[in-house]
């Protein structure tokens, strides 16, 4: 494991890059946004390729924050309707950065902050920051950490922890776009997707959940058996296993051409499948060049008492963990 200077933000703040390598896998993580900049894994012939979409330099991430390439997003991943929620009788108004709604933590969410970093053993880096009370409208001083670790098989674990001094809501995820044929190789719509979910949370025109559950049987949302996704997905899947104390395998991604296989295991109850249909012409990637599998609690949970709770109170510890396994077949 090693750390190096990656660049500096316009205000002069330095950004470092940490490289972890184990089990035939090499990943690089930035202190800016907690970004997973790259993940290099071999194909069935042993040839490595970078399979996580990202930029070679810091300027790309600063200039193009909207896709959230590889970033840690929070305090609240996904959308909060109307940019507001009520907790314990108090209404909190959030930064609105997605029409009338709040998305991925607001104008300057966790993806645009520089994190402190330190090694956590020989094959892990721990990122940490304190989100002050009122940041982007969220209540409570939130002390948060994200630990990226590689195990002996090359599986990448992303573990989140947070504590607060006042009641708040928390929902963290990683926003990596995967292309198992290699970043920049073209579209990922030929990848086979598998998701262990019998239901989704359907959404309105602004991608806000309607509050009900919808069965996937007989619909284009049925990925219980692996198949290609195609375009047109930006939806939360209700994982059959629910919230669990330890990660359980819930999804898979496979590229038949290279043989690369990705499995996703998580403690979270939901997974957002996003097929990157909205990449703009200024990006080095075209629409559909990557597939995001964002483990999460459900969108707009603070306004939906029927959804699993995202409330964190003083004395409690938020914990979430997702593991990305790499293999070939």
Positions marked active-site = 175, 294
For residue 175, say whether it is annotated as part of any ligand binding site. Answer: yes
For residue 90, say whether it is annotated as part of any ligand binding site. Answer: no
d(CA 126, CA 183): 26
For residue 17, say whether it is annotated as part of any ligand binding site. Answer: no
Instruction: Decide: residue 234, CB within 10 A, 0-12 exposed, 13-18 middle, 19+ buried.
Output: middle
Q: How many CA atoms lie within 13 A of 258 on its CB side?
A: 26
Contacts of 151 (CB under 8 A, 6+ apart): 22, 23, 123, 157
Is the Cβ–Cβ distance between 272 and 234 less than 8 Å? yes
Pull the structure tokens for residue 104: 């991925």
For the CA atoms of 168, 75, 104, 322, the dihedral, rounded to the nearest 10 degrees, stands at: -110
For residue 224, say whether it is annotated as part of any ligand binding site. Answer: no
d(CA 317, CA 172): 13
For residue 78, say whether it is annotated as part of any ligand binding site. Answer: yes
For residue 240, say whether it is annotated as part of any ligand binding site. Answer: no
Binding residues are: 78-79, 175-177, 234
The binding site for beta-D-galactose comprises: 78-79, 175-177, 234
């Amino acid at each position: 494991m090693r750390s190096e200077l990656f660049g500096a933000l316009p205000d002069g703040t330095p950004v470092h890059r940490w490289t972890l390598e184990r089990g035939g896998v090499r990943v690089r993580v930035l202190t800016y946004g907690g970004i997973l900049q790259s993940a290099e894994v071999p194909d069935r012939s042993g040839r490595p390729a970078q399979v996580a979409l990202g930029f070679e330099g810091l300027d790309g991430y600063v200039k193009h924050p909207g896709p959230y390439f590889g970033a840690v997003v929070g305090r609240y991943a996904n959308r909060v309707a109307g940019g507001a929620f009520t907790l314990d009788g108090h209404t909190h108004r959030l930064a609105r950065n997605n029409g009338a709604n709040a998305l991925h933590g607001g104008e300057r969410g966790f993806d645009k902050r520089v994190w402190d970093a330190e090694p956590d053993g020989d094959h892990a880096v721990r990122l940490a920051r304190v989100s002050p009370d009122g940041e982007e409208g969220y209540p409570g001083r939130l002390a948060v950490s994200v630990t990226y670790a590689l195990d002996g098989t090359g599986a990448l674990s992303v573990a989140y922890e947070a504590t607060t001094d006042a009641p708040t809501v928390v929902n963290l995820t990683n926003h990596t776009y995967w292309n198992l044929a290699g970043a920049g190789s073209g579209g990922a719509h030929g990848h086979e997707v598998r998701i262990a979910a019998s239901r989704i949370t359907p959404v309105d025109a602004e991608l806000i959940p309607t509050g009900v559950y919808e069965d996937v049987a007989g619909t284009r949302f049925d990925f219980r058996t692996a198949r290609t996704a195609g375009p047109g997905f930006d939806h939360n899947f209700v994982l059959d296993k629910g919230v669990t104390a330890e990660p359980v395998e819930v999804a898979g991604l496979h590229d038949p051409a290279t043989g690369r296989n990705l499995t996703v295991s998580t403690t979270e109850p939901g997974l957002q499948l996003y097929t990157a249909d909205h990449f703009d012409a200024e990006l080095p990637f075209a629409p559909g060049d990557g597939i995001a599998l964002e483990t999460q609690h459900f969108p707009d949970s603070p306004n939906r008492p029927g959804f699993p709770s995202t409330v964190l109170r003083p004395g409690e510890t938020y914990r979430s963990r997702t593991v990305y396994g790499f293999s070939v077949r």
